[in-house]
Chain A
Amino acid sequence: MPLLQLFNLRKDFGGLRAVDDVSLEVATGAIVGLIGPNGSGKSTLLNLIAGSAERTAGRIIFDGDEISGLSADQVFQRGIARGYQDPSLYLKMTTLDNALLPVKSQRGEHPWYAPWRRFWQKQEAENARAAAGVLEQVQLLGHYDSLASDLSGGQMKLLEMGRSLMGSPKLLLLDEPTAGVAPNLAYEIFEEISRLRQQHGITFLIVEHRLEILFDFVDSVYVMHLGNLLAHGSADDIASNETVREVYFGD
């Protein structure tokens, strides 16, 4: 059974239909690309899945449960994490604290327990070990004590991904993970994504403009245009699809 299924998802902004009856599915363990020209509704679709925008109509099924209508924090608790197009790190917090914040069910997050360290210190140390593991994987362990604002653009993207992992998601939604990143580093980011899929079994739905990199890593690609799904297929199918070439590449 697919991990994520969308049925006739629709989003209207006033008179504008940003997402128009989109139905798609993402198989468990897959890396799925979502492409389309600017303004085609990709980011809105991610927002709908993540619960940060309210759908007008349609259903979202995740891991066998309907999650349409849940708020963003509830969706995260169910196992969907998202990355943002603009760096969304807590710039005034350290790399380590950025990684620790999303950990679920932290006992010390409750104000009545927070002042008494013995209630949460053991769990915090365990979480820190897990965070150190994730930071090591994204090659940021040496920077655990740096403020996030002191990291480079590529490191920020990696930290953002590492941070999402700390919520142990089943599905990661990424919005242009390579935006503003040097070409060689962009390739590294996708290699990291591929490793994460293999090691943790995480499923990815990725909006990306750098198709030459994306197409090397995806299992399948959905193409959006003006709020509609235009095509679906393997990277090769999409690259040779005449209609897609027309709307996307303009030739």
Chain B
Amino acid sequence: MINIDLGATAISVLTLFGIYALMSISLNLEYGVAGVPNFGQALFVSIGAYVAGVTYTRLLPLLAGMESVHPCGPTMGQALQLRSEIMATQPVAGFINLALTLVIAAILSGAVGFAVSYVTLRLKEEWFLALVLLVGGETVRIVVRGADDLICSHNGISSVAQPFYFLDDVQMSSILFMLLALALALIAYLYSQRLTHSPYGRMLKGLRENEEVTRGLGKGISLARAQIMLIGSAIAAIGGVLFALNTGFVNTNDYVVTLTLDVWVMVVLGGIGNNRGALLGAALIAIMDRVTQVAAIALNMSGSPIEFNYVRFIAFGIILLLMLRYRPAGLLPESRLTTIAHETAKRLTPGKTI
């Protein structure tokens, strides 16, 4: 048997939940609320991670007042030592670097999301965007992987430390990072909740329900959709930065299509169009991730011939099929839109007659 440290497990599951929540809230805004089928979630998450890979190797030494060393090639080891040292001894440089990373990642990813969707969503079939993003994500991944200098091609960048790495108390350090992830997820949740329950959210749902009619009711749809892709992509990239910091590693192998599918499972499972559902889906997948990891290790140690890691993919496929068959609206179906309008109408309604 293996020993499971419950405290550490809880911290890591909650951290993962915060990171997944950012990704699922992003996709829920795009697909759940606005009906834009983003099959390139891995692309936007990876933009965050790649930006982190660049800033932690180039910007961080500058912020710490040191000379930067090329992170790839012969000086790889030296560069790694340099950034570990900075993260361990200069927390202020670490925090400033993280803040700038988040801002740059959000702006870059948002710009990509806006540009791609503004061009493709003018076409009648919004599923064209889905394909563009699916292919685009993989293309960007292969290009980054092939670039020797950006994040050292297939080697990736290791020791991308989380900002509380300087603390001697390892558990305290991971608790603080967990709180950071949860705080960012909470902000994203509150923001998207307000966005959903506003006239803008109403228009997006209108676009999702019937594009032609919504256009006929005076709404310029291309811009509205590009805007929600900007917002969603920015949130996904913030999740990507945290994802990289959490694993301590930036590697193109983490941002394959399966990541996109994971986020889709979260949204479909939790409830399409419901921000709370997105949180629930993220929580369930974070827990399942950890359960399958532990089960895989336990089975491996007991000499089982089954490679349990693959069972995860099978389980996700089954969840997706069962949900779509029996509960297409998800565990928490979409709530009716409520702005102040409903209270106003309620006051003006003499007695409800239904």
**A residues within 8 Å of B by Cβ?**
50, 52, 71-73, 76-77, 81-82, 84, 88, 90-94, 96-97, 100-102, 104, 106-111, 113-117, 120-121, 124-125, 127-129, 131-132, 135, 141-147, 163, 167
Which residues does chain A contribute within 8 Å of B215, judged by CB atoms? 52, 71-73
Q: Does B209 contact A (CB under 8 A)?
A: yes
With the chains together, A71 CA to B216 CA distance in Å?
9
Pairwise interchain contact A115-B195, C-beta atoms closer than 8 A: yes
Taken together as a complex, chains A and B put the C-alpha atoms of A147 and B216 apart, in Å, by 21
Bound Cα distance A104, B220 (Å): 12
Spell out B's residues near A (CB within 8 Å): 191, 194-195, 198-203, 205-206, 209-210, 212-221, 224, 227-228, 231, 334, 336-337, 339-342, 344-346, 348-349, 351-354
Q: Are A73 and B221 in contact (CB under 8 A)?
A: yes
**Given A73-B220, A132-B345, A125 and B231 touching (CB < 8 A)?**
no
A84 x B213 contact (CB < 8 A):
yes
Q: Provide the residues of chain B in CB contact with A91, threshold 8 Å.
A: 209
A contact residues around B337 at 8 Å (CB): 93-94, 97
**Residue ID in chain B nearest A167 by CB atoms:** B218
State in angstroms the CA–CA spacing of A71 and B220 once bound together.
9
Known: A52-B216, A115-B194, A147-B336. A132 touches B349 (CB 8 A): yes
The 8 Å CB contact of B209, one of A92, A106, A128, A143, is A92
Among the listed B198, B336, B354, which residue makes an inter-chain contact with A117, where contact means beta carbons less than 8 Å apart?
A: B198
Is B218 a contact partner of A125 (Cβ separation < 8 A)?
A: no
Beta-carbon contact of B216 and A131 below 8 Å: no
Whether A124 touches B340, Cβ cut-off 8 Å, given contacts A82-B216, A115-B194, is yes
Quick one: which of A101, A114, A128, A144 contacts B194, CB cutoff 8 A? A114
Residues of B within 8 A of A88 (CB): 210, 213
Docked pose: A91 CA to B227 CA in angstroms: 24
Residue of B nearest to A100 (CB): B341
Interface pairs (8), CB distance under 8 Å: A52-B215, A108-B199, A111-B195, A116-B194, A117-B198, A124-B344, A131-B345, A145-B336
- On chain A, the residues within 8 Å of B224 by CB distance are 111
Say how far B113's CB is from chain A's closest CB, in angstroms.
13
Contact B206 A93 (CB under 8 A): yes
Contacts of B227 in A (CB 8 A): 111
Q: Which residues of the partner chain A approach B346 to less than 8 Å between Cβ atoms?
A: 144-145
Residues of B within 8 A of A100 (CB): 199, 202, 341
Q: Tell me the number of A-to-B contacts counted with CB atoms below 8 Å.
A: 146
Given A72-B216, A143-B353, 6 new contacts (CB under 8 A): A93-B336, A94-B337, A94-B342, A108-B339, A131-B341, A132-B349
B217 lies within 8 A of A101 (CB) = yes
Tell me if B345 and A93 are in contact (CB < 8 A).
Answer: no
From B191, which residue of chain A is reached at the shortest CB distance?
Answer: A115
Residues on A with C-beta less than 8 A from B231 are: 111
State in angstroms the CA–CA spacing of A115 and B213 once bound together. 25
Of A107, A109, A117, A121, the most chain B CB neighbours within 10 A belong to: A109
Given known A52-B212, A111-B227, A124-B339, contact A117–B194 (CB-CB < 8 A): yes
Contact A109 B200 (CB under 8 A): yes
Minimum CB–CB distance for B291 against chain A, Å: 34
**Is the pair B198, A108 in contact by a Cβ cutoff of 8 Å?**
yes
Contacts of B351 in A (CB 8 A): 142
Instruction: From known contacts A90-B210, A108-B199, infer whether A142 and B353 are also in contact, taking CB-CB under 8 Å.
Output: yes
A127 to B345, CA, bound (A): 10
Complex Cα spacing A143 to B339, Å: 17
Report the separation of the CA atoms of residues A249 and B199 in the bound assembly, to the nearest whole angstrom: 48
Q: How far is the CB of A152 from chain B (nearest CB, A)?
A: 12
Report whether B349 and A114 are in contact in the complex, using a CB–CB cutoff of 8 Å: no
Are the C-beta atoms of B217 and A167 separated by less than 8 Å? yes
A92/B205 in contact, CB under 8 A: yes
Known A-B contacts A90-B209, A141-B349, A167-B217; the reply to A120 vs B344 at CB < 8 A is no
Closest CB in chain B relative to A166 CB, distance in Å: 9
CA distance A102 to B349 in the complex (A): 21
Q: Residue on A with the closest CB to B349?
A: A141
Chain A residue at minimum C-beta to C-beta distance from B212 = A52
- Is the Cβ of A128 less than 8 Å from the Cβ of B345? yes
> Known contacts A124-B340, A124-B341, A144-B349: does B334 contact A92 (CB below 8 Å)?
yes
The reply to whether B202 and A76 contact each other, CB–CB distance below 8 Å, is no
Closest to A142 in B: B353
The distance from the CB of B207 to the nearest CB of chain A, in whole angstroms, is 10
- Is the CB–CB distance between A93 and B353 below 8 Å? no
Cα–Cα, bound, A92→B206 (Å):
9
Given A76-B217, A96-B345, A132-B349, A120:B199 Cβ within 8 A: yes
Cβ distance B25 to chain A, nearest Cβ, rounded Å: 13
Write out the residue numbers on chain A whose beta carbons fall within 8 Å of the beta carbon of B213.
Answer: 84, 88, 90
